[in-house]
Structure 1
Amino acid sequence: MTPKTLEKLEQLSPADFEATLNDATTLHESGKLIEAHHLYKELLAQQPKHARLLFLKAVALYQMARVDEALPFIEQAVALDALNPDILNAYGLIRRNMRQFDEAKDIFEQIIKLRPQSYEALNNLGLVYGDQYDWEKASEYFKKALELSPDEPEVMLTLAHALRDNNQAEEGLVYYKKLHKMFPDNARHAFNVAIVLHGLGRFDEAIEYLEKVLKINPDDINAKHLLEATRGDKGATEAPESYIADLFDAYAKDFDMHLAALEYQVPKMLAARIPFAIAPKGKPGSWNMLDLGCGTGACGLYFNEYCARRVAVDLSPKMIEKSQAHGVYDDLHTQGIEGLYAESDELFDLIFATDVLVYVGALESFMEESAKHLKPGGLLAVSTELCTPEEGDFILRNSGRFA
């Protein structure tokens, strides 16, 4: 940040004004948002009704995650230049970021009327439908965008994701493979192919692509874990934290809907057992509760009646966001179980973990640390998947989960 870019500007001539605006946009394009924003602010003090300047200031604020501040500036820009597709596009993105999806859709549809060949507007409209879980409509607009720009990687990727999420994995796989062919040295595209093949039960093909990922990036621990699971390798004792975080970040958007479709009953079954276990203590409603791997927070609702304080931890930032929206917990931590146990000396009456230990094979350390964080007479309630005696103490299944 140079001092000159943060100085207060004297009144500028028209030519100097345009030159300074060009300097500001150059700073903006090079990622120097603070300096660019300062110049936009100074220039607006001299020309407060400059539509392009208002638009650029709004975009800079949006890119700095100051969305609420960006809104009035983009609204002023729209009022001054209501038919400018670039200004409208920024307006739509800001409304989408604020989760005002109907308003965002109206804006992107207006852009499409003004500029029918805008694949960006079609793609953005598809993204808004995806935000509302309408994967069929989202796919429709992504396909229209791809017709206009057949080799646009971003559109191809959003279409592949939408098809996968709409239970059209085979069709989505076509686009994931095309992206891998376009960018053979991109490990993420190869991993996307592997994930879909794995989900389709085409394990030999999944192994081929996981090996490609590791050839590109030998240190990719997520690919290593899934490869070990798919091949049935021995020796793994737990899933990498990054694997779990990425997996549940991807699930977060429609996780509750997924559980409802599965008629998921594990939290309810665990909660039903607690009254029998706590009868001798006789103090439900005053407990400290710790939810390990809280997900979206829906499971914690089953245990609320027993607790006065509710603490939760999850590796997935997107799951934590969903959990905050449910408002179940008093204290939320985005980290792993080991990290929380190492940092906290708080004791709990109840610790529970539903479908968490499926990502841990050897449970000895978990049990020891959990015991240290229980009050005398406290309860540890968990769910696991079962393996047979012939399989040993635990086994890593090709699902990537331990039994």
Structure 2
Amino acid sequence: MSGHKEKSVAEAFAEAMNAYQNGNGAEARRLAKRIADHHPTFGGAHYLLGLLSLDRAQGKQAAGHLAKAITITPRQPVLHMAMGRALELTGDVAEACLHFRTVLGLMPHHAEAHARLGNGLRLLGKRDEAMAQCREAVAQDPAHADAWNCLAGLLQEAGQPAEAAEAARKALALRPDWPAALNNYGVALKELGRLTEAAVILEGAVELRPSHAGARANLAAVYRALDRLADARSQAEAGTRADPRHAESWMELGLVRQALKHSDGAAAAFERAVAAKPDLAKAWFCLGEARRQQNKPDLARKAYGRYLVLDPADHCGAALGLALAGGTNAPAKPPEAYVRRLFDDYAERFDDSLVGKLEYRAPTVLGQALAEVLGPVSGLDVVDIGCGTGLAAPVLKPLAGRLDGVDLSPAMIAKAAERGLYDHLETGDVVAYLEARPGSVDLVAAADVLVYLGDLEPIFVAAAKALRDGGTLAFTAEKNDERAWVLGPTQRYAHSPAYIRAHAEAAGFTVALLEDAVTRHEAGQPVPGLVAVLRKS
């Protein structure tokens, strides 16, 4: 009679797990399969087989094993965690998220489950929920590098580059030389206007992972912003070679070619972008712009039309391009989403671009006109509408007892606040802002604002309502002598002096001054403009 004692299931499983933990996957698999065959209701064997399949990135097989384990012991967090990971591999993101939520229902402070749920929600386009989960992950485990990096990407998408940069920096502190985190950090620095730093960081990401098309596209965008167009083209081309289906690389190549005045090549690149990702709205807009520059209005209208289907709010201003391509009449004003995005994106480099490159002098022109009409004056209640970064504040402040500013762009308002010259700043529509303050203002000033409006009647009527009797509306505009107002090729509106005079008088103003003026240059040439000072009767 043999003295051999057969091992219990628990002992056999312990032996299998020991083999797994010691890196002997083949032995662990053999032992786990043997247990599963002889004791099919023992969940641990199916769990171990699932882990072994996960290690081989065999998501479907792992899910099959883990499903059996969950059927046997449904309230085990470790099983649902592993099942979520398996479903991530198979691309079943929504199902994976359900299992991560199950883990959190059983263990609310499970950092890894929060992190993976956050990433899954990001992939599902649920940005705010994803951000909340990532924040909870790092609250539970501040050393969770993946959660910090995921949060960095989400914050960037949400238009919060400063916080995104900090999150990416924390990820890199935990895991240096991580290409994905370097990429996120570089993009955030770019949005903050720290272009030289962004270039260095993204160069590091590309060096560590040369085949990453996204990092190359982002580096190309930074080089383009730095006016290093040859370098930008080289990186964008490398991105398209690394992944011929990477739409963003084709997009960036198109933008570089556009900057180099190669309209045919730009259009070809944008065509490749929309072919690679047909739902990439901005690529359709860029294609429309390129086709319009090629003087192919039919193709431009088609591209703009497709863009507007994908983005009805029109963050890129396709309605303006469509009008310029002859597809519709010019709108009386640009889409609000377009104006907000335009100036949010422009905020960091606004002053340098206008003053340094375009010889912008609207505030100076406005100040001279006010001095001519009003003479020496101070203590006024002044509103700077469309205040932007506050370039007009130094001119208006000496006139003001109180100086307020309003702008549609939160990023512009943030930059204006840095000047410390305004008593109050507010984000909002300028017409609504004025209508809400009847008879409370002495001076409404608008430097380079009415160029973003076609129909001036609403702004004139609102200003007249906000002004006290004898109050002043002063503004600059671009000039045309052909029509009441016209949308120009730079997507800015120009007005005729006759139109301004007629609508000013209709709103109850007397025209104290209406003169030709040059407030900026375009392509090295002065742009015909006007300066006006109107007094409320």
Q: What range describes the TM-score normalised by the shorter chain of this pair?
A: 0.7 to 0.9
Q: Distance in 2 between matches of 1:180 and 1:251?
A: 25
Give the stretch that moved more between structures: 201-210 or 334-343: 201-210
Structure-2 change in CA distance of 1:182 and 1:345 (3 Å): same
> Displacement of 1:153 after TM fit?
0.9
Match of 2:220 among 117, 126, 129: 126
Matches within 5 A, 1:234-249: 236-249=331-344
Structure-2 change in CA distance of 1:24 and 1:302 (3 Å): same
- Is residue 61–residue 67 contact of structure 1 (8 Å, CA) maintained in 2? yes
Q: Helix, strand or coil for the counterpart of 2:474?
A: strand
Structure 1 runs of 4+ off > 6 angstroms? 215-219
Q: Distance in 1 between matches of 2:394 and 2:407?
A: 16
TM-score (norm 2): 0.58
Q: Which residue of 1 aligns with 2:105?
A: 4
In the alignment, is residue 307 of structure 1 matched against residue 400 of structure 2?
Answer: yes
- 2:117 counterpart letter in structure 1: L
Q: Which residue of 2 aligns with 1:178?
A: 272
Q: Which residue of 1 aligns with 2:34?
A: none
Q: Distance in 2 between matches of 1:352 and 1:85?
A: 48
Q: Distance in 1 between matches of 2:305 and 2:494?
A: 22
In the alignment, is residue 206 of structure 1 matched against residue 300 of structure 2?
Answer: yes
> Displacement of 1:149 after TM fit?
1.8
- 2:119 counterpart letter in structure 1: E
- Is residue 230–residue 397 contact of structure 1 (8 Å, CA) maintained in 2? no
Of structures 1 and 2, the one with the larger relative CO (CA 8 A, separation 6+) is: 1
> Displacement of 1:370 after TM fit?
0.5
Q: Helix, strand or coil for the counterpart of 1:383?
A: strand
> Displacement of 1:381 after TM fit?
0.8
Q: Distance in 2 between matches of 1:387 and 1:217?
A: 32
Structure with the higher strand share, 1 or 2: 2
Match of 1:337 among 430, 433, 437: 430
Q: Which residue of 2 aligns with 1:70?
A: 167
- 1:374 counterpart letter in structure 2: L
- 1:295 counterpart letter in structure 2: G
- 2:333 counterpart letter in structure 1: E
- Is residue 120–residue 145 contact of structure 1 (8 Å, CA) maintained in 2? yes
Q: Distance in 1 between matches of 2:140 and 2:327?
A: 63
Deviations 1:89-138 (A, max 9, x none): 45555666666655544443334443333334333433444565545533
Q: Distance in 2 between matches of 1:69 and 1:58?
A: 9
Matches within 5 A, 1:146-225: 146-165=240-259, 169-184=263-278, 187-198=281-292, 203=297, 205-213=299-307, 222-225=317-320
> Displacement of 1:351 after TM fit?
1.2
Q: Distance in 1 between matches of 2:421 and 2:180?
A: 41
Q: Helix, strand or coil for the counterpart of 1:176?
A: helix
The gaps in structure 2 that reach 5 residues or longer are 1-100, 122-129, 496-537
Match of 2:450 among 343, 357, 360: 357
- Is residue 351–residue 379 contact of structure 1 (8 Å, CA) maintained in 2? yes
Q: Distance in 1 between matches of 2:461 and 2:210?
A: 63
Q: Helix, strand or coil for the counterpart of 2:470?
A: strand
Q: Distance in 2 between matches of 1:174 and 1:225?
A: 22
Deviations 1:71-98 (A, max 9, x none): 67435413xxx45544554555566666
Q: Which residue of 2 aligns with 1:27?
A: 117
> Displacement of 1:29 after TM fit?
1.9
Structure-2 change in CA distance of 1:179 and 1:88 (3 Å): closer
- Is residue 443–residue 472 contact of structure 2 (8 Å, CA) maintained in 1? yes
Structure-2 change in CA distance of 1:118 and 1:364 (3 Å): closer
Matches within 5 A, 1:360-379: 360-379=453-472
- Is residue 407–residue 427 contact of structure 2 (8 Å, CA) maintained in 1? yes
- Is residue 363–residue 447 contact of structure 2 (8 Å, CA) maintained in 1? yes
Q: Which residue of 1 aligns with 2:372?
A: 276
Q: Helix, strand or coil for the counterpart of 1:70?
A: helix
- 1:264 counterpart letter in structure 2: Y
> Displacement of 1:382 after TM fit?
1.7
Q: Distance in 1 between matches of 2:278 and 2:165?
A: 40
Q: Distance in 2 between matches of 1:185 and 1:96?
A: 25
Q: Which residue of 1 aligns with 2:512?
A: none
- 1:376 counterpart letter in structure 2: D
Matches within 5 A, 1:56-95: 56-62=146-152, 63-64=154-155, 66-67=163-164, 70=167, 73-78=170-175, 82-86=176-180, 88-89=182-183, 92=186
Q: Helix, strand or coil for the counterpart of 1:126?
A: helix
TM-score (norm 1): 0.74
Q: Distance in 2 between matches of 1:84 and 1:347?
A: 56
Deviations 1:324-374 (A, max 9, x none): 455554433332222212334572222122333234344333222201212
Q: Which has the larger radius of gyration?
A: 2
- 1:4 counterpart letter in structure 2: G
Q: Distance in 2 between matches of 1:358 and 1:96?
A: 28
Deviations 1:274-293 (A, max 9, x none): 112122xx433x33322222
Q: Distance in 2 between matches of 1:40 and 1:363?
A: 51
- Is residue 5–residue 35 contact of structure 1 (8 Å, CA) maintained in 2? no
Structure-2 change in CA distance of 1:97 and 1:235 (3 Å): closer
Q: Distance in 1 between matches of 2:319 and 2:197?
A: 43
Q: Helix, strand or coil for the counterpart of 2:406?
A: strand
Match of 1:381 among 439, 449, 474: 474
- Is residue 41–residue 57 contact of structure 1 (8 Å, CA) maintained in 2? no
Q: Distance in 1 between matches of 2:109 and 2:415?
A: 43
Give the stretch that moved more between structures: 103-112 or 372-381: 103-112
> Displacement of 1:154 after TM fit?
1.8
Q: Helix, strand or coil for the counterpart of 2:403?
A: strand
In the alignment, is residue 262 of structure 1 matched against residue 358 of structure 2?
Answer: yes
Two-structure CA RMSD over aligned residues (Å): 4.0
Structure-2 change in CA distance of 1:41 and 1:339 (3 Å): same
Structure-2 change in CA distance of 1:33 and 1:335 (3 Å): closer
Matches within 5 A, 1:32-71: 32-39=130-137, 41-42=139-140, 54-62=144-152, 63-64=154-155, 66-67=163-164, 70=167
- 1:149 counterpart letter in structure 2: D
- Is residue 288–residue 310 contact of structure 1 (8 Å, CA) maintained in 2? yes
Q: Helix, strand or coil for the counterpart of 1:30?
A: helix
Q: Which residue of 2 aligns with 1:15?
A: none
